Amino acid sequence: MAEAERVARSWDAEMRKGYLKLTTLLLLSRNSLTGYGIMKEVEKRTLGLWKPTTGGIYPRLKELEEKGYIEGQWTKEEGRRKKIYSITDAGRQVLEAAFQKQQQAQRTMRSLFQEIAQDILETKLPPPPNLELGLPPFGVGIEDKPVDEQVRILKDARAQIRRQLKQIETRLEKLEEKKVS
């Protein structure tokens, strides 16, 4: 099991590197930020589930800058130098293409997971709330909506998650009963 865990961690780390590039472009499409600001924004938007490190963000920023997808501008604030990053037109084009590919990958994986869930759990799971509601990754963009709409979207997502959890709990109870019998 130790080997499987090591491989899974390795895959997770590689996946996060790619997502960090996409997430960086998403965030910079909204506002110019420092590397530290990007780290904090990712942590905030993922409710602390993902906390990029300086060793994770700065190599991605350097790569994106070298490719011309972002540009950094040095400024001085309170006697300290800070590099503020902004997305370029080329970065916006890459973001749009990458976002379309990401949505396609999500649909494909959702279909695969539903098929497997149907086989294993003998049930059809509803689509995940963020896909059904059309929310971008990490809730990007909902903060620009009116507060009432943000509240409605989040309450709807919470209700869908609760329904999904109830379905899973019911199915698990049935499987546990079969196991005991």
CB-facing half-sphere around the CA of 128: CA atoms within 13 A: 16
**pLDDT exceeds cutoff 60 at 109:** yes
For 1-87, the fitting CATH number among 1.10.10.10, 3.30.1380.10, 1.10.1740.10, 3.30.70.2340 is 1.10.10.10
Smallest CA-to-CA distance from 93 within 63, 60, 68 is with 68
pLDDT for residue 143 = 67
Q: Which residues pair with 80 in a beta bridge?
A: 77
Task: For residue 175, report the phi and psi dihedrals to the nearest 5 degrees.
Answer: -65, -40
Residues 6+ apart with CB under 8 A from 46: 138
Q: Would you kindly state where each structural domain of the chain is located, as residue ranges?
A: 1-87
Structure-token pair, residue 40: 């904090």
Provide the H-helix boundaries in 31-146: 35-45, 54-66, 89-121, 129-132
Enter the pTM of the model.
Answer: 0.59
pLDDT for residue 83 = 96
The answer to whether residues 85 and 32 touch, using CB atoms and an 8 Å cutoff, is yes
141: left (phi over 0), alpha (psi -120 to 50) or beta: left
pLDDT digit string, tens, across residues 49-108: 888 999 989 999 999 999 999 999 999 988 899 999 999 999 999 988 888 888 888 888
pLDDT for residue 159 = 73
pLDDT for residue 29 = 92
The answer to whether residues 72 and 61 touch, using CB atoms and an 8 Å cutoff, is yes
pLDDT digit string, tens, across residues 119-177: 776 666 565 544 444 444 444 456 667 888 777 777 777 777 777 777 788 877 887 88
